[in-house]
Amino acid sequence: MKVTVSKPEKSMVTITIEADEKDLEKFLEKSAEELSGQVKIDGFRKGKVPKDVLEKHIGKEAIRANALELALPNFYAEAVIQEKVQVVARPEINITSDDPFTFEAKVAVLPEVKISGHEKIKVDKKDLKVTAKDLEEVVDYFRKQGATYPDAKRAAKKGDKVEVDFEGFDPKGDVPLEGTKSKNHPVVLGEGGLIPGFEEEITGMKAGEDKEFEIKFPKDYHSDKFKGKKVKFKIKIHKVQEVKLPELTKDWIKKMTGKELDVDAFHEEVRQNLTQEREQQEKNRREGMFFEELIKLTKVDVPEALIEEEIDFILDRTKMELQSRGITWDQYEKHLGEQKRDLRKEKQEQATKQVTLRLVLNHLYKEEKIEPTDEEIKKEVEQMMGKYPEAEQDKVKANYEKGQAGYAQVHNAICLDRFLKKHLS
């Protein structure tokens, strides 16, 4: 078998494989054996038809064609191993000759990664201190979950909850504007749920009162048709209610948390939880910024095949997310079509960044000799198994055996953790 490999061009090579008849002999025998089990010939049992009889019945060409189909993936695999080609995607096969059997395999290979200066990347840490104000806001959030709303027989003031009807009109012609109407709309004054200035117009009104006023939408408003536009609103107040928060007592704390805590202990638990949450958010933020800088410093010809595979992965994940929300892929594609959107094109930049990041990280793991041992991976897997019910552990553990996808995930997670500790401490 003759094998030639072209020089890489944009991380693609063409492997040309030419096999002689001697290379094909075992596959011709295997083909005949396979086909003899698929045809019925009088006087012979299936699978026991002699090769010469089979040739007369179905023709040498049919046996050879099947043999070539059997041989091709084997020859390709042998060529990749023989020439030590680091393929990273499925090949495109083109048969150029049946005799001698010759085919070309165009395939993406592991590209050369060039990066320098990554050790100088610095991402500053934010102050994560939890202030008394932060603590109060979180505790108030919990208290609002149990708030009561008695009617207030007075003018609305900041902190009150009101129910209001409103509709917007063009000030010049008093023409109703689409998308500006709502009935019994709940608003807590002071929380900024409406456009700036709107809640101030409600403040001081009583239930049953109505009012007209003009207000200008912000220049950065999310809807283009209202950005910076002046609109006349007609409103009517239906309810003005006080917002009464429950007292912070041991009974209320137990009801909310299920724990026997006094007020000080509750505050401390909230502080710890808020600190952990901020630490995780800060960790994610710093890692994200570090990765962005890493990608900027990287020079690599990312194979199109890898980008397309990554887009497939992203879209598969999108499909699962939609299904969890009760939306079918057909419905979503129809929606995209109405908006004339090409989702694959939209995801191309994201996919390219993700592939680039994986390539540069794997390159740096090797460069910095970051390689966990089998024992370290085994220890990590054993810790993970403790999170699963005992009855499911054997089944889950099988996915983390060496050579399986789970094993590779744990391997990469350990490498990434060590790399980030070194460069982002």
Q: With contact defined as beta carbons under 8 Å apart, do 407 and 401 qualify?
A: yes
pLDDT (tens digit per residue) in 96-143 = 988 889 999 999 999 999 999 999 999 999 989 999 999 999 999 999
Report the helix count and the strand count for the chain, using DSSP H and E: 14, 11
Would you state the CATH architecture of domain 2-110?
2-Layer Sandwich (3.30)
In this structure, the chain runs to a length of 425
pLDDT value at 199 more than 80: yes
**Tens of pLDDT, residues 75-104:** 999 999 999 999 988 899 999 988 889 999
Residue 120 CA to residue 297 CA, distance in Å, equals 11
Please state the rounded mean pLDDT for residues 200-229: 94
Burial of 153 (0-12, 13-18, 19+ CB in 10 A): exposed
Structure tokens at 112: 């050369």
Q: What does the pLDDT read at residue 223?
A: 87
Query: How far is 401 from 397, CA to CA, in rounded Å?
Result: 7
For residues 213 and 168, the answer to whether their CB atoms sit within 8 Å is no
CA dist., res. 294 & res. 115, Å (int): 8
Spatial contact of 215 and 197, defined as CB atoms under 8 Å apart: yes
Residue 353, pLDDT above cutoff 90: yes
d(CA 294, CA 354): 12
Asked if the model's pLDDT at residue 347 lies above 90, the reply is yes
Mean pLDDT confidence for 204-233: 94
> In terms of pLDDT, which residue wins out, 64 or 217?
217
| Tokens matching residue 340 | 């004339």
Phi, psi (5° rounding) for residue 164? -135, 140
Q: Do domains 2-110 and 148-241 have the same CATH topology?
A: no
Q: What is the mean pLDDT of residues 364-378?
A: 93
Measured CA angle at 372 (ends 371, 373), to 5 deg = 120
- pLDDT tier, 43 (very low <50, low <70, confident <90, very high otherwise): low
Cα–Cα nearest to 286, from 128, 126, 115, 116: 126
User: Does 314 score more than 90 pLDDT?
Assistant: yes
Residue-wise pLDDT for 403-416, tens only, equals 888 889 999 999 99
pLDDT of residue 265: 95
148-241 classified as CATH 2.40.50.110:
no
Nearest CA to 104 among 86, 79, 70? 79
What does pLDDT average to over the chain?
91
Going from the C-alpha of 176 to that of each of 116, 170, 182, 214, 234, the distances in angstroms are 60, 7, 12, 13, 10
The answer on pLDDT for 39 being more than 80 is no
Please say whether the beta carbons of 244 and 149 come within 8 A: yes
Neighbours of 173 (CB within 10 A): 6
Q: What whole-number distance in Å separates Cα of residue 319 and Cα of residue 147? A: 39
For the segment 219-272, what is each residue's pLDDT rounded down to a tens digit? 999 888 899 999 999 999 999 999 999 999 999 999 888 999 999 999 999 999
| 32, 63 Cβ separation under 8 angstroms | yes
Show me where the domains of the chain are located: 2-110, 114-147+249-301, 148-241, 302-423
Residue type (1 letter), 422: K
Structure tokens at 199: 């809640």
| β-pair partners for 92 | 106
Say what the pLDDT of residue 18 is. 94
Q: How far apart are CA 19 and CA 32, in angstroms?
A: 19
Query: If pLDDT is split at 50, 70 and 90, which confidence band does 34 have?
Result: confident
Sequence-separated (6 or more) residues with CB below 8 Å from residue 93: 72, 76, 103, 104, 105
**Confidence category of residue 42, pLDDT binned at 50, 70, 90:** low
Per-residue pLDDT at 21 exceeds 90? no
pLDDT tier, 399 (very low <50, low <70, confident <90, very high otherwise): confident
Nearest CA to 236 out of 264, 268, 213 is that of 213
Cα–Cα distance between 117 and 115 in angstroms, integer? 7
Is the per-residue pLDDT at 421 higher than 70? Answer: yes
Tell me how far apart the alpha carbons of residues 19 and 101 are, in angstroms, rounded to a whole number. Answer: 5
Q: What is the pTM of this model?
A: 0.73
From 183, 198, 189, 197, select the one nearest 155 (Cα to Cα).
Answer: 189
- Tell me the DSSP string of 29-88: HHHHHHHHTT---TTS-TT---HHHHHHHH-HHHHHHHHHHHHHHHHHHHHHHHHT--B-
